Amino acid sequence: MTEQLEGILQQAQQSLVSVEQESDLQAWRIQYLGRASALSQVLDGLKELPREQRPAVGKRANEVKTALETAFAARQAELQAVLLERALERDRVDISLPGRKIPLGRLHPATQTLLEICAIWRDMGFQVYRSRDVETDAYNFELLNIPAHHPARDQWDTFYTTTPGVLLRTHTSPGQIHVMRQRAPEPIRVILPGMCYRYEQISARSEIQFNQVEGLAVGENITFADLKGTLNAFARRMFGDQVQTRFRAAHFPFTEPSAEMDIECFVCGGAGCAVCKQTGWLEILGSGMVHPSVLRNGGYDPERYSGFAFGMGPERLTMLKHRIEDIRYFWANDLRFLEQF
């Protein structure tokens, strides 16, 4: 039986040398190490041998089995190495080719315009001041010269909370009172960007949330001419040196006198088109001299101090600049729209 074991070992080793495929290797394992293999039959037949022969034959049988298992593992590693080398040769990476670009996120179009506006005002010497989104009725209305039951409150459809007198701000103007009370009687030049909220019907021209950029300058001897010069300088930086502007009389409870500012339509050059509704002009902001009552509520003596304020909407400017016809696109999270910017 020892001779039979030696024959099995020699035959298996010779057969293993010619194995080139993984499938053939598995067939070899079944043939020489499987339950029906000649080696297994020898191991099963040990009980039929004389007692004195069993230890020697059993020892040799286990040695043969170990040798075959070792040979199998070695040949399997060799075949895997060969397959890997072939795969690397076949699928090798050409390092001279440009890499695939990783898609990056983009700033929201309204955010892009907001940052551009803030950068211009910072260059003009205005600090950025952040105020809170949740306000009291006093700061949002009362201190801005809009007392209870004032008809101007109808212009701001308000989100009220369950806490009496607490609401989501309808404009960034409450920030004027905050910054004035913090810095009075020092001069002020700030812009107040932020989100505003209004409880109104969503349409192509109105949304329940939108950005605003409020501006405020307070000091001694500030006049309406300072307001016009400052806003004209902003318009030239925002829309180009050749932009034409005009001011129209308006009314806001917290400024007196008040005005709205238009720029010449950059689509038709003032000739009249669908974007400017055939007027040749595009409204971009509201402004005015700070009302004496608002100055007083902010801690400034209106007999000594004066100031101007203005407010604009980044979404509106973005719509004008890119001829966007529906404000709902900004918050619909439609990538087809957002990826254009």
Task: Give residue 1's pLDDT.
Answer: 63
**Structural domain contains residue 98:** no
What is the full per-residue pLDDT of the chain (341 aa) written as tens digits? 667 777 777 777 788 788 888 888 788 888 877 877 777 777 767 777 777 777 776 777 778 788 878 888 888 888 888 888 888 778 777 778 787 888 888 899 999 999 999 999 999 999 999 999 999 999 999 999 998 888 877 777 889 999 999 999 999 999 999 999 999 999 999 999 999 999 888 888 788 999 999 999 999 999 999 999 999 999 999 988 988 999 999 999 999 999 999 998 877 777 887 767 788 888 899 999 999 999 999 999 999 999 999 999 999 888 888 888 888 899 888 988 988 88
Q: Is residue 22 part of a domain?
A: yes
List of long-range contacts for 138-143, beta carbons under 8 Å, 24+ apart: 138/165, 139/174, 139/177, 139/178, 140/167, 140/169, 140/170, 140/171, 140/173, 140/174, 143/174, 143/177, 143/294, 143/297, 143/298
Nearest CA to 299 out of 223, 197, 187 is that of 187
Clarify whether residues 48 and 158 are in a common domain: no
Burial label for 24, CB within 10 Å (0-12, 13-18, 19+), is middle
Residue 226 tokens, joined: 């300072």
Q: Would you state the pLDDT for residue 36?
A: 78
The reply to whether 102 falls in a domain is no
Residue 103 lies in a domain: no
Question: Any idea what the CATH number is for the domain that residue 270 is in?
Answer: 3.30.930.10
Start-end of H helices in 132-199? 137-140, 174-183
Which of 57, 90, 123 finishes a domain?
90
Q: Which residues contact 302 (CB under 8 A, 6 or more apart)?
A: 292, 293, 295, 296
Q: How far is 179 from 254, CA to CA, in rounded Å?
A: 15
Residue 29 sits in which domain range? 2-90
Global pTM exceeds 0.75: no
Same domain, 114 and 13: no
Round to whole Å and give the CA distance between 167 and 254: 19
Decide if 104 is inside a domain. Answer: no
Instruction: Looking at the structure, tell me whether residues 177 and 73 fall in a common domain.
Output: no
Residues 158 and 66 in one domain: no
26 lies in the same domain as 130: no
Name residues whose C-beta falls within 8 Å of residue 131's C-beta, 6 or more positions apart in sequence. 169, 172, 174, 175, 178, 179, 192, 194
Residue 223: what pLDDT? Answer: 96
Does 128 share its domain with 159? yes
Smallest CA-to-CA distance from 153 within 253, 250, 251, 249 is with: 253
* 277 and 193 within one domain: yes
Q: How far lies 51's CA from each of 3, 46, 64, 65, 96, in Å?
A: 18, 9, 21, 21, 72
Query: Does any domain span residue 46?
Result: yes
| Domain end position, chosen among 59, 90, 121 | 90
Give Rg (Cα) of the chain: 41
Nearest CA to 314 among 158, 224, 191? 191
User: Do 118 and 48 lie in a common domain?
Assistant: no
Domain boundary among 90, 119, 142: 90
Q: Return d(Cα 60, Cα 294) in angstroms, integer.
A: 105
42 and 177 together in one domain: no
* 187 within some domain: yes
Same domain, 86 and 114: no
Same domain, 257 and 303: yes
Q: Which residues contact 91 (CB under 8 A, 6 or more apart)?
A: none
Please state the domain count of the chain: 2
Kindly state whether residue 24 falls inside one of the protein's structural domains. Answer: yes
Distance, CA of 175 to CA of 205 (rounded, Å) = 25
The answer on 221 and 189 residing in a single domain is yes
DSSP classification of residue 327: G
